[in-house]
A and B are shown apart, each in its own frame.
Chain A
């Protein structure tokens, strides 16, 4: 009984770490640019497919590490292109509605292009450990899932350090806090936007690779990480990076526990129920919004 509970908490934390990673990208983009990108999960999908193809080409460890690097670089680059081509032209004249709808267009386009290029068959990523499980007293998990968790944590920590130490990271945070003040301080706002969008997309891509170690990969998978990331982002307060990190874990654990003790069928509804309640009671999310 107790071990089942602990086991589910561990599983929840592992899934949650991936949710956090993907949601941090989304919340960063929102915090700096006020873009709610409904195609965010499709960037994860692209990242996952990059891993699929790289691992097919170079199996094992090399391929795995290469996948992460390639996904970050490839999806980051895609992010730059998308920001330039789709979001930048709207930046000065859009309403919330225009902006969300353009991202929905992107969502529809990307998932169907993926069908065209990658085919509809679901794929999985091969396990570099060959299915070894790790026993830790009451709980056990596969080495691959553990690695996934560790990687997510490492990336999140690196990101935290970058945002708080590196000059560019600090500038990004300053812009998120107050766009006009940042501009007055001589920060090149267009550069910040490009970097933020690229970084946020790269995080989605990395999250996608890790997501692919846990779940199946298929062209229309992007909707799920998009929705989870939005739930997490709203829960953490849109634009609030630490809030997103914590909320990712909260959602992951709530889902696995809910799936075990309440109902497996309604697992995916749990996040929505939580945010509908939270929004109706505390509209700014659990950790407040980053904006003034």
Chain B
């Protein structure tokens, strides 16, 4: 693709993203748009840690939950303004991320996977059982919305869409910068071969802690966004299924690519909408069956996910043209 047509595509994409909620007036679909944007951030933050740095974290829901609970509780108990809470939630999650990074200095593969699951499960049990603070499995309700300004309110799907869009754009901008820089290359070196990375001077321990912290910050930020959007959160946010959701979206979209989790999050959120009529008929979650099947198929037959497939196809076309 030439530079000019690429710019055009960007401009078109941005215009579409801005106009989308006006084109679709169905509030349920607007709601799905917001959810998918929040998951774009959440899945991308997991992707930075696991897809780029190769640190297999199955406890990412912990960051989602910490961000959500922290921001919600700060607003409910201490009256901290939600706009600040979004970032404080992220920062608290970042601190937890740093902590969870410590085991990764010594563990990898299944060991790290189980340790991180354990971390999230312990936190989930805390959220379930520390009833005075979290109201247990009832969850927190009445979380204040993001306060409006300049005559804008952020209580409807339509307006919150723009908040989520700004958040996702900010996060993706950061991930793009982070992954293309010397930092990002070092992360990938760490993923590919630890002794090899050490041999060229990469302090793998410090890089692991750093990437855990950054990834957790965005995970927490997305959780806090969700809290002020739904205004009702429960300990389920910390469950394994939330992590699996991010994982499925990222892998189907394309692990270790910037666009992968974006494509995956949007696609899977709307796939569930497409399946709504089937679900109404059989009264169960067909969506998850398809998630599972797609996940298996992607890993077995479509390495690099949708983005990888797209790249292979367009590279193939490029080659044909060159030859032709």
Contact = CB atoms under 8 A, between A and B. Distances in A.
| Direct touching of A and B (C-beta under 8 Å) | yes
Interface of A: 30, 36, 86, 89-90, 96-98, 100-102, 104-113, 115-116, 120, 223, 227, 230-231, 234, 238, 263, 265-266, 268-269, 271-273, 275-276, 279-280, 283
Interface string B55-85: 0100000000000000000000000000000
Interface stretch (B15-23, B160-168, B288-296): B288-296
Given A97-B56, A234-B114, A108 B125 contact: no
A98 B299 contact: yes
Contacts of B284: 112, 115-116, 120
Contact of A272 (B121, B288, B295): B121
Given A230-B114, A272-B121, A283-B106, A105 B289 contact: no
Contacts of B295: 101-102, 104-105, 108-109
11 contacts: A30-B110, A98-B299, A104-B244, A105-B294, A230-B110, A234-B110, A263-B129, A265-B125, A265-B129, A266-B122, A280-B103
A100 B113 contact: yes
A153 B37 CA distance: 51
A222 B118 CA distance: 16
B292 to A, nearest CB: 3
From B103, B109, B110, B121, name the one whose CB has the most chain A CB atoms within 10 angstroms: B110
B289 A113 contact: yes
A291 to B, nearest CB: 13
B118 A36 contact: no
Given A106-B296, A227-B121, A97 B50 contact: yes
Contacts of A96: 56, 108-110
Given A104-B244, A115-B284, A97 B54 contact: yes
Contact of A227 (B103, B117, B128): B117
A205 to B, nearest CB: 20
B285 interface: yes
A110 B296 CA distance: 12
A223 B240 contact: yes
B113 A105 contact: no
Contact of B113 (A36, A98, A263, A265): A36
A109 B244 contact: no
Interface of B: 50, 54, 56, 103, 106-111, 113-115, 117-119, 121-122, 125, 128-129, 240, 244, 247-248, 251, 282, 284-286, 288-289, 291-296, 299-300
B206 to A, nearest CB: 19
A271 B122 CA distance: 10
Given A266-B125, A283-B111, A102 B299 contact: yes
Contacts of A110: 292
Contacts of B117: 227, 272
A230 B106 CA distance: 18
A89 B56 CA distance: 22
Given A86-B300, A272-B118, A283-B106, A101 B288 contact: no
Q: What are the 7 closest A-B residue pairs judged by CB atoms, nearest first? A: A109-B292, A272-B118, A105-B295, A108-B292, A36-B110, A105-B296, A96-B109
A28 to B, nearest CB: 15
Contacts of A265: 125, 128-129
Contact of B292 (A107, A230, A273): A107
Given A102-B295, A263-B129, A279-B103, 5 more contacts: A36-B110, A107-B244, A265-B129, A269-B122, A272-B119
The SS class assigned to the B binding surface is helix
Given A110-B292, A275-B115, A280 B110 contact: no
A269 B121 contact: yes
B247 A112 contact: no
A101 to B, nearest CB: 6
Nearest to A103: B296
Contact of A108 (B56, B122, B128, B248): B248
Given A115-B284, A268-B125, A108 B114 contact: no
Contacts of A231: 114, 118
B112 to A, nearest CB: 9
Contacts of A271: 118
A121 B114 CA distance: 29
Given A234-B114, A280-B103, A272 B291 contact: no
Contacts of B119: 272, 276
Contacts of A109: 289, 292-293, 295-296
B103 A102 contact: no
Contacts of B282: 116
Contacts of A101: 247, 251, 295, 299
Given A101-B251, A275-B115, A115 B121 contact: no
Contact of A112 (B54, B289, B294): B289
A266 B129 contact: yes
Contacts of A115: 284-285
Contacts of B125: 265-266, 268-269
Contacts of B296: 86, 102, 105-106, 109
A105 B293 contact: yes
A250 to B, nearest CB: 16
B113 A108 contact: no
A273 B122 contact: yes
A231 B121 CA distance: 13
Nearest to A109: B292
A37 to B, nearest CB: 10
Contacts of B248: 105, 108
A108 B244 contact: yes
B115 A238 contact: no
